[in-house]
Amino acid sequence: MHRDSERHKLFSRRTAMLGGGKMLLLSTLVGRMYYLQVVEAERYSTLADENRINFRLLPPPRGRIVDRFGVPIADNQQNYRVVLISEQTRDLGETLARLGRIIPISDHDKSRILRELRQNRSFVPVTLRDNLNWEDVARIEVNTPDLPGITIDVGQSRYYPYADETAHVLGYVAAVAEGEAEGDPLLKLPDSRIGKSGIEKVYDLALRGASGSSQVEVNAYGRVIRELTRNEGQPGTRISLTIDSKLQRMAAKRLDGESAAAVVMDIHNGDILAMASTPAFDPNAFNTGLSETQWNDLISNEKSPLVNKAIGGHYSPGSTFKMIVALAALEKGVITPDSELFCKGDVTLGDSTFHCWKRGGHGSVDMATGIYQSCDVYFYEIARRTGIDRIADMARRMGLGDRFGIDLPGEETGLVPTSAWKEAVIGGPWQVGETLISGIGQGYILTTPLQLTVMTSRLVNGGKAVVPHLTRDLIGKDGEITPRPPQETPDIGIDPSHLAIMRKAMETVVNDPRGTAYRARIKNRKYRMGGKTGTVQVRRIGAREREEGVIKNKDLEWKERDHALFVGFAPTDAPRYAAAVVVEHGGGGSKVAAPIVRDILEKAQRIDAARPGISTGTVVAGSDQQDKG
């Protein structure tokens, strides 16, 4: 009996537990059914009526670009747009006509608007005009009762406050072309913009940021009923450049009206403090959309406003190359600083005559005199003794004929010829006459203004292989910022005493009455500069013209005038800045280019352009051409 009683109690407990479990499961099921059928009834009723939830991408703010002191030079600004929802107006033609009496709407815009209205559903907003000013917005708002279906929408648009003055450094953004949106759904949004040139292109991925998303409930016709969730995404990376916007704007204005380029650099760490190329373009116009006329004007301009001449222009260096030849001659030991050569105005090689820029010659010339009076005959001779291959080796150590990998597209290498190069490319042996022409920086030799700036920096910083750059930090493809480490500047292996001779001669070029750039000197001794002039012919001067008198630049067509060059550094007692200017068909280097470098270097010193600035780290021509110095 006792055993039966125990068995009965065990069975009762199990029955109770099983029954309790069933009741719990039943309660859970009933509760879930109540939640779905009562609490969420309206939601699921809507979804059941062929509705769905859409995920929409939200474009993040594009990253700002600032100068070394945090001044915005590429920013985002509010973009006021007037949009139309066609289902909210009875007479589309009348509504557009009324709007046209308030703000101008071109025939091209009307055609686009009608096309988009046909392609889109009637409840989808269509942009009629964007980039409206405040007066336009006010007039539209006042007339809203007479403009059914028309509203003002506010978005963001890329804005360049200094426009053409920073155009070639920053580049521009424009609408995404077919094929560019592959792999990134963000670029398929109607208002998306992508970097097309300059910094905007090189760091486009980092500047874009990461898209956000919006989850919206829409009905069967695609009309938005409500927004369920919203994620704003990740703003683009804030990029800090080494540029000083004050110096940049001054350099651009100083070149205004010329087809020219200027570069200013810190000779010790490679910071590019200014890089200007003129004529330029307004990058804001690319963002809003160029007309066909505007585009044709840009591409047909003989002064090439779309080319960044500072890194993409090829120029014979002219007499600015003479320090390279002198260093190569000293290193080979074919001449000493005190060795004198006689210049009678020309030198003969075979049946060819090579002229000095100074008719009648310079007389007895040593190395320093050869540089500060820019004697061509002196450099013909020392180039002949040195040979093209030794000259080329020195040029490459000084930064010529190479890309530096600067943070911009379109950087060119230039050309430093050698005997092997000519044999391989042209298919003939190197001639001694070509060495003479190379001795004054002409013939096959081609450089860029950036390379000339680097050359000058290495001449006066003690022979250190400084490399230029435009960003203050290292920027990864994903936008990650890491501080730029101190630059390693290995020695390029030039005797310091030889560099001292070059530096002293360059000081004399500017600050001695006998120098070719004396009139362009900085008179304030605190800011004194050194440098070297260069004038490069772009046409052949025949024997008859030499006999009758060489035609002056002012009497020639623009494209037949000499290029004007100057390289300089400052201050002379403790060099910090190097600069190079090339003015296409500008005339004499001493008259045209040297005063520009003078003004830029004096400005750089007065504003102390190379001071540290902020720290980022947060995401928010022919072979017979002559040179007359």
CA distance 168 to 281: 8
Active site annotation includes 211: no
CA distance 146 to 457: 66
Tokens 């919006």 — which residue? Answer: 214
Which pair of tokens denotes residue 125?
């907003």
Query: What separation in angstroms does the CA of 46 have from each of 49, 224, 357?
Result: 5, 12, 89
User: 304's torsion region: left (phi>0), alpha (psi -120 to 50) or beta?
Assistant: left
Query: Cβ distance 293 to 285 under 8 Å?
Result: no
CA distance 494 to 421: 24
CA distance 581 to 490: 26
CB atoms within 10 A of CB 154: 9
For 399-420, give the DSSP string: TTTS----SSTT----B---HH
Q: 541: closest CA among 397, 442, 617?
A: 442
Give the HSE-up count for residue 128: Cα atoms under 13 Å, Cβ half-sphere: 26
CA distance 187 to 399: 39
Pairing of strands 577-583, 260-266: antiparallel
Cβ neighbors of 188 (< 8 A, separation 6 or more) are 176, 181
CA distance 444 to 315: 10
Which letter does DSSP use for residue 434 in this model? Answer: H
Three-state DSSP class for residue 475:
strand
CA distance 522 to 536: 24
Phi, psi of 356 (to 5 degrees): -90, 155
Burial category of 541 from C-beta neighbours within 10 Å (exposed 0-12, middle 13-18, buried 19 and up): middle
Instruction: Name the active-site residue from 316, 319, 457, 590.
Output: 319
CA distance 112 to 116: 6
Which letter does DSSP use for residue 55 in this model? Answer: E
CA distance 607 to 601: 10
Which letter does DSSP use for residue 317 in this model? Answer: -
- How much helix, strand and coil, in percent to the nearest 5, is found in the chain? 40, 20, 40
Which pair of tokens denotes residue 615?
């720290």
Tokens 């100074």 — which residue? Answer: 358
Sign of CA dihedral 288, 294, 300, 305: negative
Which pair of tokens denotes residue 446?
């081609």
CA distance 493 to 286: 47
Give the HSE-up count for residue 505: Cα atoms under 13 Å, Cβ half-sphere: 28
Q: 362: closest CA among 514, 194, 152?
A: 514
Which letter does DSSP use for residue 235 in this model? Answer: P
Q: 629: closest CA among 250, 355, 390?
A: 355
What amino acid positions are annotated as catalytic residues? Answer: 319
